[in-house]
Chain A
Amino acid sequence: MAKGPEETRLDSWLDGSHEGVVDLGGEAWSKAAALLAHVQLGIERAAAQAAVLGGETGPAAARAFARSAEAMGKKSDELRAGGHALSLTARAVSVARQQRREMGPPPNEPMAPEPPAPGAPPTDKDLEKQAAYRSSVAAYQHDQQQREARSKAITSDMDVQYRSATETMKKIHGEPDPVHKTSTTNGSGGGSSTPAGSGGQGRTATPTTYDGSSSPSGTGGHSPGLVTSGPGHAPASSTSAPPATHGSTTALPAGNAQSTWSESAPGAGVPGALSTGTSGTTAPASSVGAGAGITGGAGLMGGLAAGGLGGNLTGGVRGAITPVSSSSATGVRPIGSAARSGVSGTLGRGTTTVGTGSTGGGSSRSGGRSGSTSRGTAGGRGASTGATGRGGDRSRDRSKKSERDHFDEEWELEDEDIAPPVLD
Chain B
Amino acid sequence: MVTIADVGSTLNDLSVDPEIIGQIMEMLDAGSAALGETRVTDVPQHAFGPAPSAVELGVNTTKAHAKVAAAMVEMVKGLHGFSDNLKKFRDSALAADEMSAEQLQGLQQATSCVATPSIASSGSCTLAGEGS
Contacts and interface: CB of A to CB of B under 8 A. Distances in A.
Interface of A: 12-19, 21-22, 24-26, 28-29, 31-32, 35-36, 38-39, 42-43, 45-46, 49-50, 52-58, 60-61, 64-65, 67-68, 70-72, 74-75, 78-79, 82, 86, 89, 93, 155, 158-159, 162-163, 165-166, 169-175, 196-198, 236-238, 290-292, 317-318
A45 B118 CA distance: 21
B82 A65 contact: yes
Interface in B38-78: 38-44, 46-57, 60-61, 63-64, 66-68, 71-72, 75, 78
Given A52-B15, A162-B54, A170-B60, A57 B40 contact: no
Given A22-B47, A82-B64, A169-B63, A42 B39 contact: no
Given A18-B47, A54-B14, A61-B82, 15 more contacts: A14-B49, A21-B44, A25-B61, A54-B13, A54-B16, A57-B85, A57-B89, A57-B103, A75-B75, A78-B118, A162-B54, A162-B57, A172-B64, A174-B120, A291-B51
Given A86-B61, A169-B61, A290 B50 contact: yes
A108 to B, nearest CB: 27
Contacts of A196: 50
Contact of B68 (A19, A32, A64, A175): A32
A38 B116 CA distance: 18
B14 A55 contact: yes
Contacts of A31: 38
B35 interface: yes
Interface of B: 13-17, 20-21, 23-24, 27-28, 30-31, 34-35, 38-44, 46-57, 60-61, 63-64, 66-68, 71-72, 75, 78-79, 82, 85-86, 89, 93, 97, 100, 103-104, 107-108, 110-111, 114-121
Contact of B114 (A19, A60, A68): A68
Nearest to A18: B47
Nearest to A42: B27
A292 B35 CA distance: 42
Contact of B82 (A36, A64, A172): A64
B50 to A, nearest CB: 4
Contacts of B100: 55-57
Given A64-B108, A82-B68, A46 B56 contact: no
Of A13, A89, A172, chain B has the most CB atoms within 10 Å of the CB of A172
A358 to B, nearest CB: 20
Contacts, number: 227
Among A24, A43, A70, A74, max chain B CB count under 10 A is at A43
Chain B binding surface SS class: helix
Given A64-B115, A172-B120, A56 B28 contact: no
Contact of A172 (B17, B41, B48, B68): B68
A60 B47 CA distance: 46
Given A25-B43, A61-B82, A89-B48, A174 B67 contact: yes
A169 B68 contact: no
A29 B64 CA distance: 11
A52 B28 contact: no
Given A50-B24, A68-B115, A174-B121, A166 B97 contact: no
Contacts of B103: 57, 60
A39 B34 contact: yes
Contacts of B17: 52-53
A46 B27 contact: yes
Contacts of B28: 42-43, 46
6 contacts: A14-B49, A17-B47, A46-B24, A55-B15, A78-B119, A173-B120
Contact of B54 (A13, A36, A75, A79): A13
B118 to A, nearest CB: 6
Nearest to B71: A75
Contacts of A158: 51, 54
Nearest to B24: A46
B111 A64 contact: yes
B35 A169 contact: no
Contacts of B48: 17, 22, 89, 162
B119 A57 contact: no
Contacts of A82: 61, 64, 68
A14 B46 CA distance: 12
Contacts of A171: 120
Contact of A28 (B39, B53, B114, B115): B39
A314 to B, nearest CB: 12
Contacts of B56: 162-163, 166
A205 B4 CA distance: 97
